[in-house]
Structure formats: C-alpha cells, structure tokens
Homo-oligomer: A and B are copies of this chain.
Amino acid sequence: MTEQPDLTPTPPTPLEQAKTQFIQLWGASAANWGINRTMAQMHALLLVSPEPLSTEDLMTQLQISRGNASMTVRDLIDWGLVYKELRAGERREFYVAEKDMLQVTRCIIRERKRRELDAMKRSLDQLATLPGDENDPNYREFHRTLTDIQQIADGADRVLGGLMRAERNWFLDKFLRLFM
C-alpha cells in the first residue's frame, strides 16, 4: 500500500498569517499612492523572506502568473529595491530585497521625484513662459497660480533631495528637533 501524498495544505501558522497581512497592507498602501499593487506585494514578500526567492516562489506565494512575476520583478529591480542573485550551476534566478529601509526610502523618493516631480517642473516652467496682459484677470490668475505652484514644487524638490541625502538619524533626530 503506497503512501498517498498529502495534498491538504497545512494550515498557516500565525507568523505566516501575519506575513500575508503585511503583504496585503503594503500592497494596499502602495495602491493608494498610484503604485502597482502586485509590485508592492512582491516587495513586501521579499522584505520578510530571510532567503532569496525564485520566480516559482514568487508565483506560488503571490498567486500570480509567470509573466506577471517576470514583469513585476523587473520593475522592482529598476527601482533599485530588489537584486538578482545568480547561483553557480543553477539556471534559475533568485531575488533578494534591499533590506536597509533607509536605503529603500531613498530609492522610492529618488524614483518618484525623478518620474513625477521633475517632469512636472519642466512642464510648469514651459507653461509659465506664456506672455500676456497683466490687466487681464484671467492672465493674472493663471500666472499667479503657476508661479505659486512652481514655488511649492521647488520647495518639495529641496525637501525630497534633502531627505535622500539624509543620514541614518536625521529622520528621527534632526526632524524631531526641527519640528517639535
């Protein structure tokens, strides 16, 4: 009599449940900020994994297709949040997350600043060059709005630039002192 392989999955441990909840939380938070949910979920999964994971691992743990896993992991690598790990004599690839959360924060700030803030500033600069009649309230309001937003954008640029260059304790230390 041969042993039947046990196909009933073992119930998840509390730790596994908590991991799943964390993955969901990270995914939902990212989605609120216009970042692909699956990308953030994969990031969370890799963050809490002590070992590098294979594509197969990512697919089963997140329940996504191979194509999705491939595209999403590439995005994470592009962001600088995940590294590819190749093993001698292994054909398949493994992936590890950057674990230093300060470094992670810098990557995220850098990418978002580059992709959105910098692009927006260029467009604003271009629109703000429009000449017009200072006595036309429509022109005045348009121009005032643009220059005001440019000021804010410049401020945001500097704040984000500063945060990117911030050393480990600035976040909790300097800012505390500065603002409290």
Contact = CB atoms under 8 A, between A and B. Distances in A.
Interface string A79-117: 000000000000000000001011001000000000110
A127 interface: yes
A49 interface: yes
A35 to B, nearest CB: 8
A143 B93 CA distance: 26
A141 B115 CA distance: 31
A116 B39 CA distance: 18
A64 interface: no
A112 to B, nearest CB: 8
Contacts of A139: 15
A150 to B, nearest CB: 10
Interface class of chain A by DSSP: helix
Nearest to A165: B179
Interface stretch (A54-62, A69-77, A153-161): A153-161
B154 A178 contact: no
A22 B159 contact: no
Given A32-B34, A127-B22, A127-B25, A137 B175 contact: no
A59 B9 CA distance: 55
A51 B47 CA distance: 51
Interface in A120-138: 120, 123-124, 127, 130, 132, 136-138
A163 interface: yes
Contacts of A116: 29, 32-33
